[in-house]
Amino acid sequence: MCGRFTQTASPEVIAQQFALTDPPLFTPRYNIAPSQPIAAIRIDPDTTTRTLVMLRWGLIPSWAKDAKIGNQCINAKAETVAEKPSFRSAFKKQRCLIVATGFYEWQVRGRVKQPMWIGLRSQHPFAFAGLWEHWTPAEGQPLETCTIITTEPNDLIAPIHSRMPVILAPTAYDQWLNPTFQHNESLKVLLRPYPRDELMVYPVSTLVNNPRHDVPQCLEPVSVKGVHYRPACL
């Protein structure tokens, strides 16, 4: 699964990386957790251009009667996303890019769960494959929510966790965002594990275990017995 991630790139870098007209307005995040607002890019139906919006993490299907379902829909499996009722409608025409600079996974080491941070070796921001939905409750304000698609891990992540978020190649952005492109099999081809040689991994402090800790110290490497850290790999 993907239950925590980071977005520490500057607005100017985000605008350049994702071909946005204007730099977005948001601050760096070091420990993003479910139910929080996260930065996502989708196609504006009026201008047909990319636009950055803030969506609540935890997808609530349009047909849901209770917002609590969003707590169970922070991730969608690539293998079943096109068929599962919670996601199939969004998969057809409401796809988005979730902006990130890295993500956390917890590796079980005996009785200890060691948090690990994973990002690109290039240190550039990237995009998770995401889906979004618009939900209108019986009472109250409408919500726009999202989920992150996961896939099987590559061999770098496999010793850490049984799943990893789908990181899209920049060449796939246009096809993924295009709401008129609805060929399921072609879209599912994009949902593959990211190449291991382009990722780096290192252990971080258990400070990140608490989502209230959203500080730069969450990203600082730590020394862990039995783990030999190198900047480019584990």
Nearest CA to 130 out of 184, 168, 86, 178 is that of 168
Residue 30: burial class (beta carbons within 10 Å; 0-12, 13-18, 19+):
buried
User: Any idea which residues carry the catalytic annotation?
Assistant: 2, 105
**Residue 197, both tokens:** 């040689």
The contacts of residue 26 (CB under 8 Å, 6+ apart) are 7, 11, 39, 54
**Residue 49, both tokens:** 């251009």
d(CA 105, CA 160): 7
Work out the angle at residue 154's Cα, subtended by the Cα atoms of residues 205 and 78, and round it to the nearest 5 degrees: 100
The contacts of residue 188 (CB under 8 Å, 6+ apart) are 78, 81, 82
**Residue 68, both tokens:** 């609590």
